[in-house]
Amino acid sequence: MKSPIEAVQRYFDARTDVWLSCDSTAFFDLSRPSKQEKWIARLVRQAERKRKAYQLQGKRLLRAHSKVNIMQLNMSDDETSANVVAEEQIFWTYTDAREIGVECRTIHHRQDWVWVEDDWRLRHAEESSDGRALAEEVRDASVHTPLRLPAHHYRAGGTYDRLRATRYADVWWDSANPRYPKFSDDCTNFISQCLHAGGIPMQGEGDRINGWWIRSTNPVSNQWSYSWTMSNALYRFVRKSLGGELVGRASELKMGDLIFYDWDGSGTYHHSTIVTEFDHNGEPLVNAHTDDSFHRPYLYYDSRAWTPSTKYAFVHLPDQLSN
């Protein structure tokens, strides 16, 4: 019996084709359509929304390709089923006016395959989405090395260094800095690291509700504030404690500013990103974690978490810290 690796590769090839053509027919050779129709339709909707987002911003998608790393492959004793854990890094190349741009994203997958009629068929698939990791991942991860504050750590009342913050976001967009804990839902932890790299000092250590801090001298649960790890709490912190100003349009933001996402329009923010670049039209491109993203159009239309009720908060941070 063959390994399912070839079928897994066909699956990811088909996903890549969908981004460009929105044609999902290749999936029907890999799965049972009666069970997978909703899932396949969701992939097509994601691709259609991505193309629409590019069109709205004057971009044209030229190419999509992916790199896939099989993290885990477990076969049943009788070799008729297999569980696969994979990391997919997608690269989209597009034109922005006369310039070429690249957007990157990392998605984690868990799949169940079964041997049927002399071939592997996909029985179940799930993937991480923005602000939501795979269901079975452990939320709190250990710190591998002690946390040391950056040498440029500022005292209260210092300057927010946007360049350092965005450089940090570009260096660590697809990996975890071992000086910090790694969370399954890592978006806000990553943004807090970017802000800290930009010179914003931790404060209120030990106060989980009102402070903004993280420690790793004894890396156990509850060693960080809510605002360090939760989008809605970080939004309140940057507005109240840092003097972050809400602006009406994304184009009014600067590099190093933040965008928060309320996926269902409930008034609670579920996802956080940092502005790291702008496109030809002056619209922000952002970096983020959970679905690790590099220079991604801020609209997030291609996210599985996006809904027509999605609301955005565009937060401009002051250059001079007030506290």
Domain ranges in the chain? 5-127, 162-316
Domains 5-127 and 162-316 fall in the same CATH topology: no
What CATH architecture does domain 5-127 belong to?
Roll (3.10)
Res. 49: pLDDT tops 90: no
**Per-residue exposure over 262-277, b if at least 16 CB sit within 10 Å of its own CB, e if not:** bbeeeeebbbbbbbbb
24 token code pair: 């999902």
> According to the model, what pLDDT value does residue 316 have?
98
141 token code pair: 């991860």
Res. 26: pLDDT tops 90: no
Q: Quote the CA–CA distance of 253 and 149 in Å, as a whole number.
A: 28
> According to the model, what pLDDT value does residue 133 have?
53
Burial group, residue 205, by CB count within 10 angstroms (0-12, 13-18, 19+): middle
Mean pLDDT highest for which of 84-98, 118-132, 259-273, 279-293?
259-273
Q: Which residues have a Cβ under 8 Å from the Cβ of 123 and sit 6 or more positions away?
A: 31, 32, 35, 81, 112, 113, 114
Tell me the per-residue pLDDT of 134-143, one tens digit each, with 9 for 90 and over: 544 333 333 3
Q: Please tell me the least confidently modeled range out of 47-61, 123-137, 153-167, 255-269.
A: 123-137
CA distances from 3 to 22, 27, 124, 254, 314 (A): 28, 19, 17, 49, 48
Q: Quote the CA–CA distance of 22 and 137 in Å, as a whole number.
A: 30
The size of the chain, in residues, is 323
Tell me the per-residue pLDDT of 244-269, one tens digit each, with 9 for 90 and over: 999 999 999 999 999 999 999 999 99
CATH superfamily of 162-316: endopeptidase domain like (from Nostoc punctiforme) (3.90.1720.10)
